[in-house]
A and B are shown apart, each in its own frame.
Chain A
Amino acid sequence: MKLWKTILTAAALVLANGASALAARTDLVIGITLEPPHLDPTAGAAAAIDEVLYANVFEGLTRIGADGEVLPALAESWTISDDGKVYTFKLHSGVKFHDGSDFDADDVKFSLDRARADNSVNAQKGLFAAIDTVEVVDPATVRITLKNPQSSFLYNIGWGDAVIVAPETADTNKEKPVGTGPFKFQNWAKGSSITLIKSDTYWGAPVSLDKAEFRIVPDAAAAVPALLSGDIQAFPFFPDPESVAQIKDDRRFKVVIGATEGETILSINNKKPPFDRLQVRQAISFALDRKAIIDGASAGLGVPIGSHMSPANKAYVDLTGLYPHNVDKASELLKEAGLENGFKATLKLPPPSYARLGGEIIASQLRDVGIDLQIVPVEWTQWLDQVFTKKDYDLTIVSHTEPNDIDIYSRKDYYFNYDNPTFDKIIADLNHTSDEAKRMTLLGEAQKILADDAVVGFLYELPKVGVWDAMLEGFWENAPIQANDLTKVKWTE
C-alpha cells in the first residue's frame, strides 16, 4: 500500500514537471525597492512610477529603447519640416485604451496640452517648453509646431512624463492607470505589490508574459533570500551590490552589470569661497581617487567618468585622465591658492548608500591634502530643501539620474552655482542643431569645458545591477531611462 503511494506520488511529480516543460511559464514576479507614490507617470518625479508603468502600461508618441535610442511608439512615423519647427505625426490605427475607448489624435492633443498647461504639475514640464501648438489634422494625424527648432524633441516626448492618456481617465490614473500599452493594470496592494496582466486588445506585437507582479522589497538584505527562495524571479535594479559575488556563483541566476544615466558626482558650490577658485576645485579633483571610491561605494561595479556624460552614451568623451589621482599636485594647487594650511568645509550626504559610503572615503581622501570635511547626513527632503533649493552647502554627493542632462550646468540658479557663458552658448547651439555629427562635436566640447573648469568632482557612472532567473531573457541590460520594459521578457525552456 505504502509502495503504491510512493509510486503514485513519483508519477504525479514527473507529470507535473513534464507539463511545465511543455509550456513555458508566463507569470513573473519582479522585485523593486521603492513603492511608487501613485501610478501616474505624468504627475510625479519618482522613478518608481516609470519602473512599473513605462512601456508596459503607458506609451507616448515615441519611446526610448534599450540603448537609449528613439523608437516609434503610438506614432507610426513622422515628418519634420525643413526649418525643424513642424513635426507631423502619423498615428497607429486600431489602438485602444485599456478601458475599451479608442485612441486618436484628440488624446494626443489633450495629453500634451495638459502636460504643458499653466496649472500643470508635470515634474518634467521643461520637456514641453518648446511646443507652440498641438493641432489635430485628422484622427490619425497630429501636427506639433515648435517655437524654435529643438533637436531633442523626439527624445523628449519619449519620456514617461509625456505618455498619452485619455481625457476620461486622466484624473484617476494615480489609482487606476489606463493606458494603451501591452499590459493593463490589475491590482495594487499598497505597500506590497502591483500586478499587471496582458492586454488582449494591444495594437502591437503581443507580449509573452500573461501576468507580471512588481513586489516591493524595501530592504536590501531581504532581496537575496527573496531571490534564493524563488519568491521573486527578477531584480532588474538589484539593491545589494555587495551580494553580487555570491549570486554570480549560483548558476540558477544571471547577473548583468550595465550602465545607468546616473552620473554620480561630488557637487561643489561654485560661488562659495574658496570653491569659487579654479585651483581649489582642481585640487579636489586631483585629490579624488575614483577607483577607491568605486570599490568602496559601489562594490567595484561603477565606471569612472571625467565629465557629465554616461560612458554608454554615443557622445561620451573619455576625460578621466585629466585629473589623475595625485596628492602632490593637489597640495601644490592649494598652495598656489594660498591655502597651504588647508581649510574646513561641510559635506552633506543624502541617504543612498553611494553617498553615505562614498562620503566617508572622499572625506578621508580630501583630508590627505588638508581639506577637513565635516560630514552632515541629511534626509532627501532636507537635501532638496537645503542643498538643491537654498544652495546652502559646500559639497554634496548625488547621482544625477536624468538621461542626457548635461544642460543642467547651463541652468540659471541651479544648485552648482556655476556660470559660464561659453558653456551656455554651446548648450543653446546644441538645442538648435539637428545634424548628428555637429551635435556630437558640441557635446564633446561641453564635456571638455566642465572637466577643465572642474565644476564638480566627477566620480563614476552608477551601475545598473540586474539579477534574474537564468531561464528569463529580454530584460534591459542598461538603463537609458529608469524603466523595466517587459515587452520582450519571456521564459525560455
Chain B
Amino acid sequence: MTAYLLKRLAIALITLVLASMVVFAVLEIIPGDPARLMLGMNASADQVELLRNQMGLNAPLALRYLHWAGGLLSLDFGRSYTYSVPVIDLVRERIVVSLPLALIALALSTIIAIPVGLFSAGRHGRAGDTIAMGAAQLGVAVPNFWFALMLIYLFAVWLRLVPAGGFPGWSAGVWVALKSLVLPAIALALPQAAILARVTRSALIEVLNEDYIRTARAKGLPFRAVLWRHALRNAMIPVLTILGLQFAFLLAGTIIIENVFYLPGLGRLVFQAITQRDLIVVESVVMLLVAAVIAVNLLVDLSYAVVDPRLRSRQ
C-alpha cells in the first residue's frame, strides 16, 4: 500500500513539473502584448515599452520561468498584471464561488444519476430503461447554456423565485448566496448526471452478468438486495473514475455557465485573464487547477482501494 502511494505521489509531482513548463511555454508563444492592451490605441510605442519594463516583461524567458516556478514552490503565485494584486487573493475570492458550486452540482448529479442507473439496469431492455436512457441521451445532447437560459426564464423571470444571475457573496447570508447557486448548479448537474447515469447503468449491467450475482440470487436473495448490496459496490470503480473527472471539470470548466449566470468563478477569472493577456494569472491558476486535478485523481485512486478490498491487500 505504501509503495503504491509513493509511486502515485511521484507520478503526480513529475506531472506537475512538466505541466508548469508546458503552461508557461504555451502562454509565452501566444501573440499579444499585455502592455499594449492596457494602454490602448492612443499610446505611443515608447510608453508601451516603459510599461513593459515596469511589468517585468522584458526579462529573459528562462529567468521569468524560474522566478515564477520558484515562487510557486513557496506558494507565491505572483501578482496580476491587470489587477496588480497577488494572484492568490484573486483565487481566494473566486474559489468560494467555484468550489461550493462544483460540490453542489456534483452532489446533485450523483443523487440523480445513481438511482436512475440502478433503475435502468434493474429493468434492462424494458420500457422503463428505454425511457430513462432516452432522457439521459437528451440530457447529454441539450447544450447547457440553452438549458441554463430556459431555467432563468422559468425560475427567475417568470416565477421570480431566484435571481437571474450574479453572486451576492457569502457575507449577504448563506441562504441568499445559496439561492443564487441553485440554477447554475442544476444547469451544470443535469448533463453530468446524464453521463453518470449511463456509466452507472452499463457498469451495473456488466456486473449483473457475473457468476456471483447468479449465486446470490440462487441462495434466495431478492433482486433488489442483490442490486444494491452486491452489484452496485462492484460497479463503483468506473463510476468513481467518472465522478473524479467530473469534479475537475466542474471546478474549472464551467466558464459558459459562469458567463450566463455572471458568477465570479475561477473559470471566468481564467477567461478574463486570457483575453487581457494577464499571463501570470492564467499560468498560476492553470497550475492550481492542474494540481487540483492531480489531487482528485490521487484521491480517486485511493478510493478504489476503499471500495475494492482486493486492491488493498494486493501489495
Interface residues of A (CB under 8 A from B): 35, 37-38, 44-46, 119-121, 123-126, 174-175, 189-193, 215-219, 221-222, 225-226, 228-231, 379-382, 384-386, 388-389, 400, 402
Is B166 touching A193 in the complex (CB atoms < 8 A)?
yes
**Bound-complex Cα distance A207 to B275 (A):** 36
**Bound-complex Cα distance A386 to B31 (A):** 9
Say yes or no: is B43 at the interface (Cβ < 8 Å to chain A). yes
Is A389 touching B149 in the complex (CB atoms < 8 A)?
no
Q: A38-B84, A219-B260 are in contact. Are A191 and B42 (CB under 8 A)?
A: no
Give every chain A residue within 8 A of B169 (Cβ-Cβ).
Answer: 189, 192
Give every chain A residue within 8 A of B51 (Cβ-Cβ).
Answer: 121
Give every chain A residue within 8 A of B165 (Cβ-Cβ).
Answer: 217, 222, 225-226, 231
**A/B interface sample: 11 pairs, CB < 8 A:** A46-B40, A121-B54, A125-B44, A191-B264, A221-B149, A221-B260, A222-B262, A225-B157, A228-B164, A385-B36, A388-B41
Give every chain B residue within 8 A of A192 (Cβ-Cβ).
Answer: 166-167, 169, 262-264
Give every chain A residue within 8 A of B269 (Cβ-Cβ).
Answer: 191
Is A215 touching B262 in the complex (CB atoms < 8 A)?
yes
- Shortest CB-to-CB span from A16 to chain B, Å, is 16
Say yes or no: is B39 at the interface (Cβ < 8 Å to chain A). yes
Say which size band chain B's interface belongs to.
35 or more
Say yes or no: is B153 at the interface (Cβ < 8 Å to chain A). yes
Nearest residue, chain A, Cβ from B84: A174
**Bound-complex Cα distance A44 to B35 (A):** 10
Q: A45-B42, A119-B50, A384-B41 are in contact. Are A215 and B31 (CB under 8 A)?
A: no
Give every chain B residue within 8 A of A37 (Cβ-Cβ).
Answer: 38, 82-83, 276
Is B259 touching A45 in the complex (CB atoms < 8 A)?
no
Please provide the chain B residues from 5 to 37 with a CB less than 8 Å away from any CB of chain A in the complex. Answer: 30-34, 36-37
Give every chain B residue within 8 A of A193 (Cβ-Cβ).
Answer: 166
Say yes or no: is B285 at the interface (Cβ < 8 Å to chain A). no
Say yes or no: is B122 at the interface (Cβ < 8 Å to chain A). no
Is B265 touching A191 in the complex (CB atoms < 8 A)?
yes
Say yes or no: is B137 at the interface (Cβ < 8 Å to chain A). no
Q: Identify A225's interface contact among B84, B153, B265, CB under 8 A.
A: B153
Nearest residue, chain A, Cβ from B169: A189
Give every chain A residue within 8 A of B236 (Cβ-Cβ).
Answer: none
Say yes or no: is B261 at the interface (Cβ < 8 Å to chain A). yes
Give every chain A residue within 8 A of B45 (Cβ-Cβ).
Answer: 389
Nearest residue, chain A, Cβ from B269: A191
Q: A190-B90, A191-B264, A222-B164 are in contact. Are A35 and B42 (CB under 8 A)?
A: no
Give every chain A residue within 8 A of B156 (Cβ-Cβ).
Answer: 225, 229, 231
- Shortest CB-to-CB span from A482 to chain B, Å, is 12
Interface residues of B (CB under 8 A from A): 30-34, 36-45, 47, 50-51, 54, 82-85, 90, 93-94, 145, 149, 152-153, 156-157, 160, 163-167, 169, 259-265, 268-269, 272, 275-277
**Bound-complex Cα distance A333 to B44 (A):** 37
Is B82 touching A380 in the complex (CB atoms < 8 A)?
no
Is B41 touching A124 in the complex (CB atoms < 8 A)?
no
Nearest residue, chain B, Cβ from A119: B50
Is B262 touching A381 in the complex (CB atoms < 8 A)?
no
**Bound-complex Cα distance A126 to B45 (A):** 12
**Bound-complex Cα distance A70 to B111 (A):** 62
Q: A38-B84, A229-B163 are in contact. Are A402 and B37 (CB under 8 A)?
A: no
Nearest residue, chain A, Cβ from B166: A215
Q: Identify B42's interface contact among A120, A124, A225, A380, CB under 8 A.
A: A124
**Bound-complex Cα distance A105 to B80 (A):** 34
Give every chain B residue within 8 A of A123 (Cβ-Cβ).
Answer: 38-40, 42-43
**Bound-complex Cα distance A125 to B39 (A):** 10
**Bound-complex Cα distance A381 to B277 (A):** 7
Give every chain A residue within 8 A of B277 (Cβ-Cβ).
Answer: 381
Candidate in A35, A44, A121, A215 with the most chain B CB atoms within 10 angstroms: A121
**Bound-complex Cα distance A219 to B261 (A):** 8
**Bound-complex Cα distance A90 to B196 (A):** 71
Is B83 touching A217 in the complex (CB atoms < 8 A)?
no
Give every chain B residue within 8 A of A125 (Cβ-Cβ).
Answer: 43-44, 47
Q: A45-B42, A191-B93 are in contact. Are A38 and B82 (CB under 8 A)?
A: yes
- Shortest CB-to-CB span from B50 to chain A, Å, is 6
Give every chain B residue within 8 A of A229 (Cβ-Cβ).
Answer: 152, 156-157, 160, 163-164
Give every chain B residue within 8 A of A217 (Cβ-Cβ).
Answer: 165-166, 262
Is B275 touching A218 in the complex (CB atoms < 8 A)?
no
Give every chain A residue within 8 A of B268 (Cβ-Cβ).
Answer: 191, 218
- Shortest CB-to-CB span from A219 to chain B, Å, is 4
**Bound-complex Cα distance A120 to B51 (A):** 9
